Structure formats: structure tokens, C-alpha cells
Chains A and B, each alone.
Chain A
Amino acid sequence: MRIVPFLITTAISTALVITLNTRLTIGGNEAPAFGSFLSPQHGFWQNAEAVSESYTADLKFSQLNGKVDVYLDDRLVPHIFAEQENDAYFVQGFLHSKFRLWQMEFQAYAAAGRLSEILGNKDERILNFDRNMRRLGMVYAAEIALQQMNNDPVIKSQCDAYTAGVNAYIETLTESTLPLEYKLIGYKPEKWNNLKTSLFLKYMSYDLAAHDDDFELTNAKSFFSADDFAKLFPAIQDSLDPIIPKGTIFEKQKVFPVAPAQADSVYFNSHDLAVSETSKPDRDNGSNNWAVSGSKTKNGAPILCNDPHLGLNLPSLWYEVQISTPTFNAYGVSFPGAPGVIIGYNDSCAFGFTNGGRDVRDYFEIKFKDDSRQEYSFNGQWVKTTFRVDTIKIKNKPAFIDSVAYVQLGNDICPVMYDKSFSGGKNTNNKYYAVRWKAHDASSELKIFNMLNRAKNYADYSAAVTNLHTPGQNVVFAAKNGDIALRTQGEWPAKWKGQGDFVMPGYDTSYLWQGMIPQDEVPYQYNPERGFVSSANQKPVDDNTYPYYLGRDYPPYRGYIINKRLNAMTNITPQDMMTLQTDNFDAAAAMSMPFIIANMKEGDLNAAERKYYDILKNWDCRNDVGSKGVSVFDVFWNKFDSTVYNDEYAKAPKVIMRPFFSTLVEQILKDSAYKFLDDITTTQVETLADDVTAAFKKAVPQLEKLEAAGKLDWEKNKATRVNHLAKLAPFSRLNLPIGGGYRSINAAKVDHGPSWRMVISLTAETEAYGVYPGGQSGNPGSKYYDSFVDQWAAGKYYSLWMMTKAQTGDKRILAKMSFSK
């Protein structure tokens, strides 16, 4: 033995192994341990799924009570046939876990404010995100919801079976078979449990029912005069065609919210500044849905359509599935993380959702006796605080301990979300704000889907959706017996006019929510004479006749154009509905173009400006692929908005509400001498023509830049993308050739839009179509990872196959997975 060379080479080998076994930080980013990551038998190569992969399997689980056969079709959609209902949920859990585990767990971590645990705290944003989620009371809300789930034996056993299925797959995992993202980020999956399902559902509430502008509006109210405020943030839009048509007679009002006596001085006219939070869900988390009755369709059967607009991600929020049991047979999209079909159809009817969008999250200013937060003032007395102490684990760092005060306001326990230690990154003026969020209340979202999946008729549908409290949704329904319906469902606080628009005083009972709108006062339509029902997040009802306050910000234009089109259509086919769902017509632009053209001072434009103005003038008001006119309009409108308002906002606080998009359109259509057109920094009085022309001149340099970069075509300018959940670019789909956008029915924005398009014709044998921008597999190494994206971008659909047991020999079947005891 040659001792010296032996020792040296052994040392080199060992050092090499240790280095390659360590997660190194390269260029500020943590890289995977290259040894295990590159090892073909352990690392990422294992996730390079063969394109000819056969998913055929014969699996035995002692948790099952009967047999379950799963047929995976050529789009990798599972058709689950179970002898026992709960076995179907076990298998659904298993399949979600097999195809989407990393995503499911990541979403549950995010909901629970645990991202620091896996991502570390490279910058403050991750810890702030976690603290924000916890201080909002996400875990608190999920625990309350779990309690409710446990009280219902049907839902409890459904969840238990689902969780067991998820875990049955997790138990099969080895280092080699871990989903790719675990290998990249460097952690391992936990066991699933029912609380995680509950957390995921609360995350949907966060996404859909946690949007408010209370702080921004409070600051706007403090900064502007009452008169200006009313003109900047009007509650009424003239273009509104509400979900429940004007003229509908409502149930007699039973709850009478009363504004506090000093509301004018203490609340409406108070000029205290508030703060804002850092992140909030997209304000356009909206959707379209409608159903037309047989009287308007070619074959006489109702057609139901739905396209929920949500953040576009890979892996997708949705997972397509058919569940067939002795008790029901349903097809549609499911949430990886929860049992059942969420949006879809069964053998009798179809159902879909759009977001209700009402403000169900309000803030109350709390007065503590001192900084210890031990006692707060309420109704003239000092009341003891309770505390929830959160330990936020941080990867490679000591844990962060956050103690959040909970105060009792009337009957509600509310977390003091913002205090001296947490302002969401902004100055709190050393104030304390408690949050009252409807999602804190007990509710059973899973019950709705459980009941809808087996609904046979209108009565079943109504019984199902009245369980929906938060997030409130406009639930559309159509059945084979010819019924159509839409309920603006939810448990909504009955508010006095203006309640909760701004931060409210939290020192006595007078400003608290005084009750909920009774379920029999929920506005709805059932087989209306006009032959259709529809919703697109516009204001649900006419303010003049509906007794309760509904807030201010609802997008009116998609609803306006959908109703106009549906009114005019007859002999409708499913193909017509697909054309409508993917329609790129820009209603707001069409309303604005006449006043733009009438007021443009063409003589003031130079040759370069005239070139772009010609493009705009000749534009057909469609946000189509290849359209340059919409890019010109879009840039112009931004400049127009800033030309009109920036002078008034010049000295405003940084956190402040800007007028909604619809405000400028509506106000000018109403009054061409709109007060804000004048530039208050000049001595002369600017007119609409001045502002239109000035804005256009300001837009041109930006348009020239866009054109030079080859991005004047709308789809290149907009560059719609579907991001990987961890924002890894190679796992995302960028620059998709798709038109539409914020102002179109086809609301495909940059990274947000129609997350599932569905058209269901309720003929004797259902004719169904659907597509989502993703793929059934969550594995970036699978050909099924993004296989639907191009089809979605092109506005094309897949025919949805409600498989029957007689079709087991169909050539669409790719593989069979058998599950038994």
C-alpha cells in the first residue's frame, strides 16, 4: 500500500463526494446537490418520464372496501369507477398525489404561512408573506372549517378517504420517485391531513374573497374632498346591466343595518390616514358564466357555460376527472387538494361558478391600553386580549416567533392583523387594525360540491348551494329537464351604505356587522323569461331597488356585452357558445372610441403621431392576435388616465386608491366637462380635447419603442404566460399567442385569465367541451405537463368524454389502473 498517494486520493474522493452532496450557493441562489440531482438512478433524470409511459397498474390497499377501476384516456384524464363512493375519493386522492403532489403541498404551505420553512428567507418578502397569511387568520379559519367538516359524518368520511389516498401514494415514494421540485428545492413531502384540505379551501377564499381596498380608499377619502371622492369613486355605473336584471322584485327586507349616529363625523369625514398591505389577490379574480334555456338553442336543450378567471399557473389549479359511483356520476375539474368535482356536470345537470366579489373583509382600529396589547377598549371598558403565538420555521435560520392579539368584537373573534411589529412593510402610524373576515366563520364548502355532484334537479341545486357562505359565488345551473338558474350565493354581511368601504372604529358595537342577509333574500333567477341567466362579476343587482349596500367596485363591461349578445342570439349551438367565450370584442373601447375621435385635435399631430392615430382610427375594437390598434388604445388609455388624474394625485399619500378603469369611461360619457379633465397646475382650463390630444402625444414615444422591439402586435405586447408555481422560467410557458384581455369576454391577461373553459349542452346524451391552460401531469418532465396550453391559447376545446362502463374497450383508453383490497 502506498500510504501517501492513498491518503491523498482518498481525501480528494471524499471531498468530491461531500461537495457534490451539498446544496451550494451559486450566484446568490441555492443549487441542488449535484451528485444526487444528476445521478441517473436518483436525481432529476428519474423524472424524465418516457413519452411511451404506460400507467397500467394493479394496486392493493387495505383501506379500500371494494374494487375501483380507473381508465386513463389519451389526455390522461382518469375515469374512476368505484363500487363504493368513499373508495372513489381514496383513488382521487391517490391520483391527485401521484400527478400533483408537489403543487398540492406547496399550496397548503402557502395557505398556512409556512413558505419560509421550505424556501428560507432570502429576502423579507417570504417571511412577510407567511406572517401576512397567519395574521389574516388563515390557520385559525381553516381550523374552524375543519371542526365543521368533522361534525358532518358524510364530509368527514369523504375527507378521511381522500387523505388516506393521498398518503397511500406518498408512502410509495423513494428518493428516486420524488417529484422534481422536491429534488430541486431540497425537502421531502409531509403526510397529508384533513387540515391541509381545509387550508387549501381557505386559500381559495383568500384568492376570491380577500380583496378589498379599505386602506387605499381610507387614504383617498382623507386626501380628497367628499365631492371629489364621489366623482372619483362612484358607486353607480351607467353601463351596468346587473346579474339579476333591473326591475326584479326582491324579497321583503328582514335585516335593517343602521349606520352609527356619528358616522358622518367619525367615519365618513374623518381625515385620518391608514396604511396598506403589501400583497393582495388579483382584483380581477372574476369569471364568466351563463346558461341559455332550450328556447334559445338549436336542439332545444339548455347550454351551460363557465370560464373562471384565475391566476394562470403550471401545474394548473385544475385537474380533470370523472368520478362514477353507485350514487352519482360526475365529470369536470377538481382541485388537487380536495375531493369531488368542483365545476362540471353529471347525468342530470351542469353547474359553474363566478366570483361574487363583494367586500367581506373589513378592518377595525383597536385602542389598546398600552404596547403590551393585554387589554383593549370596547364599549367603554378594558377587555382582556387573547394571543395566538405562531412559530414560523425558517430554513437554515432560527424560527421566527410572532404573537398576534385576538380581540372580541361583538360575537366575533378577530386577529389584530396590523400592529407595531407588522405593517405589511408600510408605516402603520403606530395604529392597530383588527380584521373581520367572513372566511373566519364556520362553513362547509365541500358539502356544496358533494351535493352538486349528485344533484338531479333545481331543488337539489338550491339545497346544495345554500351551504356556500364564503367565498360567495354566482352559481349557474342548467338541467336536462330544461331548467336554468343562477343564484348570487353567499352569506353576506348586511351593511349600511358605505359600511366597510373604509377602515372603521373598533371601540364599540356600533360599527360592527349587524347581521347577515337572510338566505331567502339572496337574489336569484330561475327560468327567466329572457331565456338566459348570466354573470360576469358585475354588480349583482340594481342599487335602486335592492335594500342592502353592495360596495363600489364591480367591472361592468364583460357582463354588459355578454347580456347584449345572449339577448340577440337564437338557435344557439355549443360552437356559438365557444365563439362567445373566446370573443375578443372590447366593449369599453367601443364606448370610448367615439369621444376619442371626436376630440382628437388632428391638426396638432405630427407625421409620426398621425401614423399611430390612423391605426387607432381604423381599429375594429377587437383585442385579436395581430391587432396593432388595441396596443395603441391600451398605451393611449394609460396616458389618458394619468393626464386626467395625475395632477390631482401629485401630492397624495403613496398608498392611495386610483379610480377604477370604468370610472373614467363612465364619467366622460356622462359629462364631457368632467371636473378632473382640468390640469390644476395650469392657469387655463383644459378640456377633453386637450387631454385626449396630450395623452396621445405622450403615448407615441412608447408606441415607437414597442414597434422597434417588434411588440406592437397585441399578443406580443401583452405576452400572456402560464407561470410555474415557483416561478421557474423553463418550467413556465411564456409569450403565448392569445388575444383578449382585461376588457374582453376572453379575459386572458398577462398571467391571469380563463383558467377552465367549459361548454355543456344538456342533450339526452350530454355534449360537453372544455379546456384549461395546463396538463394533467404536474411533472415538468412529462409530455402531459402542458399538453393543453396550445389548444387553450388557440381558443379550441376538447370534447369531454363521460365514459360508461360499456366503453372499456374504447380506443381512447391509454391505460387501466385497478385498485382493490
Chain B
Amino acid sequence: MKFFLSLILTILLRFAPCLFLPWWSVAIAAFVVAALIPQRPFKAFLTGFIALFLLWGGLSFWMSNNNDHILAHKVSQLILKMDNPYLLVLATALIGALVAGFAALAGSYLRKTK
């Protein structure tokens, strides 16, 4: 239950204010949620990781799909040197997930006692 609560909270905390805040507020959101809702470190990491994997992956896929992947075709060639929009969505999801995962891990250690 805690896991899903954290997951949803991270997603919400990330999504709403980040319309105005810089991209790295993902880290702060994950950190704060992990600090507020105590979980074991690994679970906390997983929460942050999955939350942002879903959020960034979902958002970018949704936007790209609405775009008929026109831009993702081009940017994937530019950045990944291959024409693969889905790989670009995956890369986006992973980058967000990694940042949030580590931030959540740090947040969980803030609360965690031995």
C-alpha cells in the first residue's frame, strides 16, 4: 500500500509543480516522498525509479504518439544515431528513473534508523 501511495505521490508531486520548476525537481519530489513515507531503502529506490520511469516514459510516449513520432524519428537519429522513436522514449524514462531512484534512496536513508 505504502509502495503505491509513494508511487502516486511522487508522480503527482513531480507532475504538477514541474510545469513551473526546472527538470531536476524530479529528484526533490522523489527525495521528499521517500523521506515522508518510510520504506526500506531498496523499496524506496524502486518507488522513485518506477514512478519516474512511468511518468517520463508515459508522458514522452503519449506526446510522441500524438505527434505520429515525427520528432522522435529525427531526434533519435541525432542523439542515438539510429532511427528508433521507442528507444528514445526508453532512454527518457531511464534517465528520469535513475535520478528519482537515487534521490528516493537518499530520502529513505534520511528517515531510516538502524
Contact = CB atoms under 8 A, between A and B. Distances in A.
Interface in A5-30: 5-6, 9-10, 12-13, 16-17, 20-21
B27 A13 contact: yes
B109 A43 contact: no
B46 to A, nearest CB: 14
Contact of A730 (B24, B64, B77, B96): B77
Interface string B1-24: 000000000000001001100111
Contact of B71 (A9, A21, A47): A47
Contacts of B32: none
Contact of B106 (A10, A38, A51, A52): A10
Contacts of A45: 59-60, 63-64, 71, 92
Contacts of B67: 48-51, 781
Interface in B76-114: 77-79, 91-92, 95-96, 98-99, 102-103, 105-106, 109-114
Interface residues of B, number: 44
B66 A50 contact: yes
B95 A35 contact: yes
A34 B59 contact: no
Nearest to B66: A50
Contacts of A49: 67, 71
A41 B99 contact: no
B37 interface: no
B33 interface: no
B99 A16 contact: yes
Given A5-B41, A40-B92, A782 B31 contact: no
Nearest to A783: B70
B56 interface: yes
B23 A42 contact: yes
Contacts, number: 124
B72 interface: yes
A466 interface: no
A728 B72 CA distance: 15
A44 B106 contact: no
A13 B31 contact: yes
Contact of A41 (B19, B27, B103): B19
A304 to B, nearest CB: 36
Q: In which size bucket is the chain A interface? A: 35 or more
B43 interface: no
Nearest to B101: A13
Nearest to B55: A40
Contact of A38 (B19, B22, B92, B109): B92
Contacts of A785: 70
Given A50-B67, A781-B71, A9 B24 contact: no
Nearest to B67: A48
Contacts of A9: 102, 105-106, 109
A48 B109 contact: no
A674 interface: no
A332 interface: no
Contacts of A180: 71
A585 to B, nearest CB: 37
A162 to B, nearest CB: 29
Contacts of B109: 1-2, 5-6, 9
A39 interface: yes
Nearest to A31: B79
Contacts of A39: 18, 23, 26, 56, 92, 96
B13 to A, nearest CB: 13
A52 B31 contact: no
Contacts of A709: none
Contacts of A6: 106, 109-110
A325 interface: no
- Residue of A41, A51, A781, A785 ringed by the most chain B CB atoms within 10 A: A41
B42 to A, nearest CB: 12
A731 interface: yes
Given A40-B59, A48-B70, A730-B77, A1 B64 contact: no
Contacts of B64: 45, 48
Contacts of B72: 48
Contact of A35 (B55, B73, B78, B99): B99
Contacts of B96: 38-39
B68 A42 contact: no
A1 B113 contact: yes
Nearest to B56: A40
Contacts of A5: 41, 105, 109
Contacts of A459: none
A6 B24 CA distance: 19
Contact of A13 (B18, B63, B102, B111): B102
Contacts of B15: 41
Interface string A721-765: 000000011110000000000000000000000000000000000
A781 B70 contact: yes
Nearest to A43: B23
A21 B99 CA distance: 12
Contacts of A781: 67, 70-71, 74
Contacts of B24: 17, 20-21, 35
- Residue of B41, B55, B67, B103 ringed by the most chain A CB atoms within 10 A: B67
B95 A728 contact: no
B111 A782 contact: no
Nearest to A16: B99
Contacts of B102: 9, 12-13, 16
Contacts of A36: 22-23
A490 interface: no
Given A35-B24, A47-B71, A781-B71, A13 B99 contact: yes
Interface pairs A-B: 8 shortest CB-CB: A781-B71, A39-B23, A6-B109, A40-B59, A48-B67, A9-B106, A730-B77, A50-B66
17 contacts: A1-B110, A1-B111, A1-B113, A6-B106, A9-B102, A13-B31, A13-B99, A17-B27, A36-B23, A38-B95, A41-B18, A41-B59, A42-B22, A47-B71, A50-B63, A51-B67, A175-B22
Given A16-B27, A41-B18, A44-B71, 4 more contacts: A21-B24, A40-B60, A45-B71, A783-B70
Interface of A: 1-2, 5-6, 9-10, 12-13, 16-17, 20-21, 31, 34-36, 38-52, 175, 180, 184, 728-731, 780-783, 785
